[in-house]
Amino acid sequence: LIALSALASPYIHMAFWGFYERGEGAVAYFCYLLLFMIAATCLKGDGDKRVIFYGILAAGVIQALVAGGQYLGYDFLQSDFYRPFLIPAEYVHLLEEGAELKARITTKAYGFTYNPNYLGGYMAMLFPMGLVLYLYSSSLYLAAAALVAVLLFGLGLAAALSSGAFLALGMALIILFFLILRDIKVFYKRLIPLLLII
């Protein structure tokens, strides 16, 4: 269906490859599907799933820290350290000639996603994951780490200022509430510090 949709477009090249600053054409969706199929086929054991789960949360924490810096006025992606990763090698000589090459300039945080709405959606997806880990973890250290992650995801979400992400998180939290309602007596004490911090 993705291929048929792209082929039916009057702008077939753009439909398949995307365009400048928006590279998510049909080819990107095919890659997403391929990654999903590989993960669904290869990740069988709980250990494999745990590695992916914690990897996703760790990537989200890094993303939230970058977004927090952007919100506070320090953009790591504009730093001299990161700029060589961002700017193609053929344009480096312009920097040496005194040109100012900047990445995206916006009043909202955008993280590594280069788009505040994508960042907000990513944080809205990770927030409930971290929250469930915080509520259900048996280890005090893991619960503390998960609480820090949840707070960072919340700050990343707030820094992105994406109304769609706030709506998505609100819907996810309502659904999550009904899913964990029967266990609330077990972990209500963990909700108190979270609510106080919020």
- Mind listing the pLDDT tens digit for each residue in 4-48? 999 999 999 999 988 876 778 899 999 999 998 988 888 888 888
Low-confidence ranges of the chain (pLDDT < 70): 21, 86, 95, 98-107
pLDDT of the residue at 98: 64
d(CA 8, CA 3): 9
**Residue type present at position 81:** F
pTM given for the model: 0.75
Residue 150 CB neighbours (<10 A): 24
Strand partners, 22: 19
Q: In terms of C-beta density within 10 A (0-12 exposed, 13-18 middle, 19 or more buried), how is residue 5 classed?
A: exposed
d(CA 6, CA 182): 46
pLDDT of the residue at 122: 93
d(CA 105, CA 181): 43
pLDDT of the residue at 99: 62
d(CA 13, CA 111): 28
What tokens appear for 182 in the block?
């029967």
